[in-house]
Each structure stands twice: as structure tokens, then as C-alpha cells.
Amino acid sequence: MTTAIAAHAAVTKSAFGTTPDGTAVDLYTLKSDAVEARIMTYGARIVSINTADRDGKMGDVVLGYSALDGYLGDATTYFGAVVGRYGNRIANGSFKIDGQEYHVPVNNNGQSLHGGIVGFDKLVWQAHPIAGGVEMTLVSKDGDQGYPGTLTAHVRYSLHHNALRIDYSVSTDKTTVVNLTNHTYFNLAGGGTVLGHEMTLLSDHYTPVNKVLIPTGELPSVEGTPFDFRKATLIGARIEQDNDQLKIAGGYDHNWVLRGANGEVKTAARVYEPASGRVLTVTTTEPGVQFYSGNFLDGTKFGKAGESHEKRSGFCLETQHYPDSPNEPSFPTTLLKPGETRHSMTTFTFSTHAK
Ligand code: BGC
């Protein structure tokens, strides 16, 4: 099936295997004049993004596996996935809504990470083609992983020339907490570590963490710290510095506070890879971005072309509400009430820069 709509990317659908319970997984290929992106229904995951380098040579700039089995056998990296209900961490897997305490699975150092044991990354989403893309839908039942309320999530991926846009919308029938993001690992060189990528983060403050990576609640300035990426700086330039925050996380694995209001579109990050000339620009309506430098990749898993997923061979820019917001009243709220629909938007735009 091919749906070609003027001014939009062409969209094709193919089979991508079945899960152990026999559910079919589909793969949607979005192709514009500049980019080809493949997205599957298992975890609503980005499987590949092919973009040109400065010489026009196409290459895949995201980490992943060649077949569904790789994804099914990997519970911890979240390659390409939409993570939810709550992307990132909730302290001790507990929070209160209207005085009632809820418990969600603790799957990371006594904390809840990325929605629990069977988060949205491990479920097969319903999908249908839209103009230039695909809409994925998931209905998570009241009590799923301990979260209150039946949550309906729509995630629309659409390709517009060199920009992949992700639109999220969520609604619930009972007050709940939600924080959806996309967990793609990028490597603009198409291989090796990402330490030689130049990172710019349009952010003046970040959320430092305690020993189990839960924010302390403070929002210090990045000034004079290895967290200052206001000017383009190599990811590897300061990552081994003697800094408590870098040591706790084994590198960068923190939330940066974005400029501008929650809900307003702003540029979050710009990443330049000097050898290929590729540039990734990230815009979002979210108030924060988790820059994770792939510190926990350990080289034991092998990618699409048999390459090992080495430590720091990919970085994530997870546009989001701040981690542990349900327990931190001073952070922008992640509460969602019945009758509301919350929208958010993130774009990944690919370009190149001359030498
Ligand atoms: C977290 C990391 C975690 C990784 C899982 C990131 O979003 O911030 O701490 O290890 O996801 O692969």
C-alpha cells in the first residue's frame, strides 16, 4: 500500500514480524525528498532514519536492530521507543494524587523508570497512515502498571522535507500523571562513539540529581559547569571531569530546563558532527530535555550492521517534563485530568554544514 500525498512524504507499510503472543508488528516507511524514516508499531519505535551527509551520501543515524527479535530481547535500552506512561524516573515508584498514594513498578535502582516493567515501549500500538506519516494509538487501561485512569495516547509521526515531526496527544478518564517522550539514540556519524559530536543546548539551568538519579528539586545555573552547552561544545570535552553529577550518572544523563514557557515551541538542541557534516536540530513544546550520552550501553548488543552498541555510541535528546515531577510540586505539572487533552510536539530536523 502506498499513499503519496502532494507535498508530503510517501508512506508505505510492511510486516516486521510477530511478538511471542502472536501479535503482528507493522513497519511504516516515510520517505521525503531528503529523509527516509522507518517506524514500527512495537513501542511506536523509530527503527531507522536515513539522511544525507555533506557529500550527499545517505546513512542511518539512529541505533537499533535489523529485526524485531533484537528489540524483543532488549528490555533496557529503549531504542527508538515512545516511553510512557511516565518517561524517566519517579522516586521510589510512588506518588500521590488528591491524597491517594499510587505505586508503580520499581525497575531501576529502587526507582520507577520509563513507565515500569511493561511500559509503552513494549506494547504493540494500533496504527494508520496519515498525510506524510503514521498515527499510532495506544489505550492503556485503568491500573496499567499501577497508574490510575484509562489513558488514550495518540502519537503522530510525519515527515516534512528534512524534518520528522512527532505530535503527542493524551487524554484520561481519571486524574493521572503522564510524560511521553521518544527515546531515539542518534549517532550522526553513523558509527563510533558520539564524543566527537558538538552539542548545543539552549538552556541556562538543569536539574541535578541524587545518587539514584532523582532530581533534588534545585535548578542551578549551568554557568561554569560541564553542563553549560550554551556554546557548541564536544560531548566528550568535559564528560570525564571530576564532577559529582557526571560521576553519579557515568556521564550526561540529566534534564535541562528549556527557555520559554511550557507549551511554547522552542529550539532545545543543535548537534553537529564535523566528519559527516550532519546537523540535528531539535525543537519542542516541552519544558525540558533529557540529554543522555548512552553511558549504560555496554557493547554486549549488536546493531543493524552487526556493529556493537558500545558505551556512548549514541545520544538521546528526550524532550519531556522534568523527571519525578509527580513528587516535585515546583516543577511544571504532569497531572492530566478527565476532559483535558494534552498536546505536545517535537521535531527532529536534519541538515548539513559545510567544512
Ligand atoms: C535515562 C537513563 C537510562 C536510559 C535507559 C534514559 O532516559 O535517563 O538513565 O539508563 O534511559 O536506556
- Which ligand 1 atom sits closest to the C-alpha of 87? 7
pLDDT tens digits for 293-325?
999 999 988 899 888 899 999 999 999 999 999
Average pLDDT over residues 152-161: 98
CA-CA distance, 103 to 96, in Å (whole number)? 9
Name the residue of 253, 254, 256 to mutate for ligand 1: max ligand atoms within 8 A of Cβ. 253
Ligand 1 neighbour 51 (Cβ under 6 A):
no
Q: Helices marked H in 64-160 — which ranges?
A: 68-72
% of the chain beyond a pLDDT of 90: 95
Residue 275 reports pLDDT greater than 50: yes
- Cα 296 → chain centroid: 16
pLDDT tens digits for 220-274?
999 999 999 999 999 999 999 999 999 999 999 999 999 999 999 999 999 999 9
Average pLDDT across the chain, whole number: 96
Average pLDDT over residues 138-153: 98
Which has the higher per-residue pLDDT, 300 or 343?
Answer: 343
Question: What residue segments make up the domains of the chain, in order of their start?
Answer: 10-352
CA-CA distance, 82 to 114, in Å (whole number)? 9
Q: Which three cell numbers stand for residue 69?
A: 527479535
Ligand 1 neighbour 292 (Cβ under 6 A):
yes
Strand partners, 50: 36, 60
Name the residue of 296, 309, 320 to mutate for ligand 1: max ligand atoms within 8 A of Cβ. 296
Q: Which three cell numbers stand for residue 151?
A: 489513558
Which has the higher per-residue pLDDT, 355 or 347?
Answer: 347
Residue 43: burial class (beta carbons within 10 Å; 0-12, 13-18, 19+): buried
CA-CA distance, 259 to 267, in Å (whole number)? 9
Phi, psi of 189, deg, nearest 5: -85, -15
% of the chain beyond a pLDDT of 70: 98
pLDDT-derived band of residue 118, with 50, 70 and 90 as boundaries?
A: very high
Q: pTM for the whole thing?
A: 0.97
Ligand 1 neighbour 324 (Cβ under 6 A):
no
Ligand 1 neighbour 77 (Cβ under 6 A):
yes
Which has the higher per-residue pLDDT, 184 or 2?
Answer: 184
- Enumerate residues 6+ apart whose C-beta is below 8 A from 225: 243, 245
Residue 4 reports pLDDT greater than 60: no
Domain 10-352 has CATH 3.50.50.60: no
* 87 Cα: distance to centroid of ligand 1 (angstroms): 9
- Enumerate residues 6+ apart whose C-beta is below 8 A from 192: 313
Task: State which H helix or E strand residue 129 sits in.
Answer: strand 126-130
pLDDT-derived band of residue 128, with 50, 70 and 90 as boundaries?
A: very high
Residue 2 reports pLDDT greater than 60: no
Ligand 1 neighbour 286 (Cβ under 6 A):
no
Ligand 1 neighbour 121 (Cβ under 6 A):
no
Q: Which residues are catalytic?
A: 183, 318
- Which ligand 1 atom sits closest to the C-alpha of 318? 7
- Enumerate residues 6+ apart whose C-beta is below 8 A from 127: 26, 28, 41, 134, 135, 136, 137
Closest CA to 159 of 31, 12, 246, 44: 31
pLDDT-derived band of residue 7, with 50, 70 and 90 as boundaries?
A: low
Name the residue of 292, 295, 298 to mutate for ligand 1: max ligand atoms within 8 A of Cβ. 292
Q: Helices marked H in the chain — which ranges?
A: 68-72, 244-249
Strand partners, 209: 215
